[in-house]
Amino acid sequence: MASETESPTSPIDESDALLSPPPDSEPRPGLNGTPVRWYDADRTEPYTRIAPFQERHDTSVEFFYKPLTLTALAFGLAALAYIAMSQDVLEEGRDKRRVGAYAAVASFLMFSMIQFRDGPFIRPHPAFWRAILGTNLLYELALVFLLFQDLHSARRMMTLLDPSLNVPLPEKSYAENCGLSPQNIWNAIDIFCLAHALGWFGKAMILRDYWFCWILSIAFEFAEYSLQHQLPNFAECWWDHWILDVLVCNWLGTYLGMKTCQYLEVKPYGWRGLRQTRGLRSKARRVLSQFSPHGWTAFKWEGTTSFLHYSTVVLLLAVFLAAELNPFYLKSLLWMEPDHPIVIMRLALVFLCALPAVRELYQYINDPKKAKRMGQHCWLLLATILTELLVITKWSRGQFDAPLPLHIRWAWTIGGTLLMLYPAVRFGVPSARRYVRKHKRQAKAKLQ
């Protein structure tokens, strides 16, 4: 679950107050009290600077917030020395490449936890989110490496992770018996329905906007209709698309996710240090609450208020659709079942990376006085999704021979035209009218 760095309802306990700067040292909102838009913000001014983690952090459990970098280095090297030089480990098989790769990954993640910059979340600990960022970076580097491989070589390389891979998958279609009957609907309910609901619960926690989730849910079903000629498993019965997926699974996950967001938004946040907590039961509750948010920020995307917000919503929708569609293409090209552990780990990683990434994007667009630049989580996740698209585009050559149906092409052309026409009418026409009126007034003033 996500956590926030600060919240209006999150008082700072005494231990926090000792290490936090006084309120008078905070920069005034905007420039001389006047709000500043992101495109007008001077990134060199103090009001755009981000307060570093070392100046403001949660000291409720003081020991875990001390640097201890040399101690971590000593323990890490000791663990590597034991694993690399232990006779028991050396006798375990002949191929040591996998053990060496795991050790390299663990070493990089330890460096990430200690040395990377902090993101917007501090619970359960900033080091956890640094490790998530490091994992995302490793995945991005793996994608860059795969981008320079051909598809057959990539399939062979995947056997290093799982020897059972590199086997063609059977064709699957869910549109064979589309009669609307209780028996057919019951037969269509499987573990993937639960996965749908959990996925949309997670998207609601990421986007924190009910209508955004609805638009994304419907857009994904249209994307499935559009790509049936390439991925047969996108071919589903109409009631599977709109009743089982949208109205049942997606709605249930979105509803529960938004209810959770509403609860976290109004929940009072009062944190006490572990030393100030009395009683074993209270201390246990305090330890468990370390895995809950430190505060909560409600998102108001307001896509119709300005061209900036409209563009942000459309681009975020496109990135989310790409992140949803990419695993279907990757598992089809690399011959992996939908329930393969690699597929599940990729979905879990993108979810964990999207939590701070969307939070950074929201602050960068709506609160430039605190966001000096786009956050590292947002930047790296965007790079990861786009690199996946590059890999899929390269490997898809010669794999999907069926042409794009004409009616699908017309549908997306009309949809794209409407997406561009709306901001022109909503924002461009009023701006043009204001421009004309301004110049008319200036012309009249000169004549007078």
pLDDT in tens, 21-61: 444 444 444 555 555 555 555 555 554 444 444 434 444 55
Dist CA 391 CA 329 (whole Å): 10
For residue 67, whether the previous peptide bond is cis, meaning omega lies within 30 degrees of 0, is no
Q: What is the mean pLDDT of residues 244-263?
A: 92
pLDDT at 19 over 50: no
The confidence score (pLDDT) of residue 62 equals 57
197 in Cβ contact with 217 (< 8 Å)? no
The confidence score (pLDDT) of residue 275 equals 63
Lowest-confidence segment of 88-92, 172-176, 407-411 by average pLDDT = 88-92
What tokens were used for 4?
A: 């926030």
CB atoms under 10 Å from CB of 63, counted, come to 8
Range ranked top by mean pLDDT from 175-189, 266-280, 330-344 = 330-344
350 in Cβ contact with 381 (< 8 Å)? yes
Give the rounded distance of the alpha carbon of 257 from its chain centre: 15
pLDDT at 233 over 70: yes
Q: What is the mean pLDDT of residues 140-158?
A: 94
CA distances in angstroms from 88 to 83, 95, 100, 105, listed in the order given: 9, 14, 15, 22
210 in Cβ contact with 380 (< 8 Å)? no
38 in Cβ contact with 365 (< 8 Å)? yes
Q: What is the pLDDT of residues 369-379, one digit of tens each?
A: 777 788 899 99
Is the torsion defined by CA of 119, 120, 121, 122 positive or negative? positive
The confidence score (pLDDT) of residue 6 equals 43
What type of residue is 111?
A: F
CA distances in angstroms from 278 to 59, 214, 271, listed in the order given: 17, 45, 13
CB atoms under 10 Å from CB of 447, counted, come to 6
47 in Cβ contact with 35 (< 8 Å)? no
CB atoms under 10 Å from CB of 204, counted, come to 23
140: pLDDT confidence band, cut at 50, 70 and 90?
very high
Q: What is the pTM of this model?
A: 0.80
The confidence score (pLDDT) of residue 395 equals 95
Dist CA 228 CA 391 (whole Å): 20
Q: What does the radius of gyration of the chain's CA atoms come to, in whole angstroms?
A: 26
Range ranked top by mean pLDDT from 36-50, 85-99, 257-271, 341-355 = 341-355
Is the torsion defined by CA of 360, 366, 372, 374 positive or negative? positive
Dist CA 175 CA 372 (whole Å): 50
Cβ burial of 221 (10 Å; 0-12, 13-18, 19+) is middle
pLDDT at 15 over 50: no
What value does the mean pLDDT of the chain take? 81
Please spell the DSSP secondary structure of 344-370, one letter per residue.
HHHHHHHHHHHHHHHHHHHHHHH-TTT
Cβ burial of 220 (10 Å; 0-12, 13-18, 19+) is buried
The confidence score (pLDDT) of residue 158 equals 92
Give the rounded distance of the alpha carbon of 330 from its chain centre: 18
- Of the two residues 404 and 54, the one the predictor is more confident about is 404
Dist CA 96 CA 142 (whole Å): 20
- Of the two residues 206 and 66, the one the predictor is more confident about is 206
Please name the residue that has the structure tokens 């990089």: 108
CA end-to-end span of the chain: 65
172 in Cβ contact with 151 (< 8 Å)? no
